[in-house]
């Protein structure tokens, strides 16, 4: 069974796990919304299905925007994958 995480994804691909294997409650979402909204950071609540540290990309589905700032979900999810791959396959120095 694939792991399910609810994450917050920012426009530049940075992300944070919100909760695992359950839907976040209103207060958990509101905390992220307040911080990211104050920073003017485009961001989305998303569901990630699958392992983060495995070669195959996990499924990523937007649930809803968290801020009023415009942004591109497609660019954010591509940046997420770039960051994820750099974490699991770091380049030798």
Stated pTM of the model: 0.86
> What are the C-alpha distances in Å from 70 to residues 10, 21, 56, 65, 67?
11, 29, 29, 9, 8
Tell me whether residue 24 is in a domain: yes
Domain count of the fold of the chain: 1
Angle at 71 between CA 66 and CA 76, to 5 degrees: 90
The answer as to whether 80 is a domain residue is yes
Residue 93 lies in a domain: no
Q: How many CA atoms lie within 13 A of 47 on its CB side?
A: 10
Is the residue at 72 inside a domain? yes
Which domain does 38 fall in, by range? 4-88
Position 1 confidence tier, pLDDT thresholds 50, 70, 90: low
Q: Is residue 31 part of a domain?
A: yes
**What whole-number distance in Å separates Cα of residue 33 and Cα of residue 37?**
6
> Over the stretch 9-59, which tens digit does the pLDDT of each residue have?
999 999 999 999 899 999 988 888 887 777 778 899 999 999 999 999 999
């Amino acid at each position: 069974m694939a792991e399910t995480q609810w994450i917050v994804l920012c426009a530049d691909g940075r992300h944070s796990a919100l909760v695992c294997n359950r839907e976040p409650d209103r207060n958990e979402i509101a905390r992220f919304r307040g911080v990211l909204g104050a920073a003017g950071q485009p961001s989305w609540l998303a569901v990630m299905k699958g392992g983060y540290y495995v070669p195959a990309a996990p499924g990523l589905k937007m649930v809803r925007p968290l801020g009023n700032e415009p942004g591109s979900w497609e660019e954010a999810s591509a940046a997420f994958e770039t960051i994820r791959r750099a974490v699991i396959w770091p380049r030798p120095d």
